[in-house]
Structures are given as structure tokens and as C-alpha cells.
Amino acid sequence: MRGILPYLTALTGLMATSPGTATVAVSGDPVLFWNEQLLSVLSGSPLVGGRNIAIVNVAIHDAVNASLGSPNRSWLSTSAGATGDTRAAASVAAHHALVALYSAIATALDVALAASLALIPDGTSKTDGMLTDAAVAAVLANLAADGSSARSAYVPVGGPGH
């Protein structure tokens, strides 16, 4: 839990900013940059928003973990080795998850991805980092039929405590 606390603190700080206010440059921390992109489009149900935040961040976690050789035991197994660039891994994973969740802004997300990847020198490390998008596919496949979009009516049963 100690390892995730600084990240959650930073994410909480991002959530306090107003949408559309750029506080993290594309050249800054890629996880914070992509979370800012996500937070700028969140609207509607807090349950859906919270779920989407989790989806994007699990995809980023697993892609970066895969690019580092999975030292933190990714939630999902991926096939990438320990040679990938972590910025490329985080950027591609976040982009793919965001496009899957918010296809209406795909063009803007494509521009953000291109800007992020332009910061990385071409080579094997960049290419390997980009290949960790398998983490996103695995995350989305696991969540496709999780029942989160099913509607159910609340029907009270019995008295208190039931």
C-alpha cells in the first residue's frame, strides 16, 4: 500500500482541478498527463466515472509493469519483456483505454498520443513499450461482460439489516 499512496495523492490533487485546466504538460509524468486527459472528459454518474478511472489506471499499471519485466506482478499477464520504454507503455495503454471508453474524442486523444510518443527516441525500446497495449486489451476483455451496465431496480426486502 505504501507504493500506491503517492500516486493516489497526486491523482486526488488532479481531481481537484477544474476540467480543461492543463496542469501537467505532455513532457511531464505520463501517468498524471493521461489521468488529466481522462478527468477532463468525466461527466455523469460517479460510479461510471470511478469505474473508468480504474480501467485506465489498471491498463497503465499493467503496461508499465510489463515494460519493466513485471516486477510488481501485473494484475493481468502480458507478453512484453523488460526492454520497453515506460512512457511509451503508459501512453499507449492510456490512449487505447480512453479511446475504448470515450470514442467521441478519439481524434484529440490521437493528437495527445502522438505528442507523447514524439518525446521518445525511435528504437527498440520505444517499439517494445508500445507493444504493451496487450494489457489494455486484456483489461477491456475482462470487463466487457462484468455486468456493470446491467440495470436493476432496488426492492427492499424485510426489515432493517436485510
Q: Is 124 exposed, middle or buried (0-12, 13-18, 19+ CB in 10 A)?
A: exposed
How many folded domains does the chain comprise?
1
Written as tens digits, the pLDDT of the chain (162 aa) is 444 444 444 444 444 444 445 588 999 999 999 999 999 998 888 888 999 999 899 889 888 888 887 766 655 555 545 668 999 999 999 999 999 999 999 999 999 999 999 999 999 999 888 887 776 777 788 787 788 777 878 788 887 777
Position 49 in a domain: yes
* CA triple 29-34-38, angle to 5 deg: 145
Position 40 in a domain: yes
126: domain CATH number is: 1.20.144.10
Position 134 in a domain: yes
Position 11 in a domain: no
pTM across the whole model:
0.74
Position 73 in a domain: yes
Q: Supply the range of the domain harboring residue 62.
A: 24-143
Position 154 in a domain: no
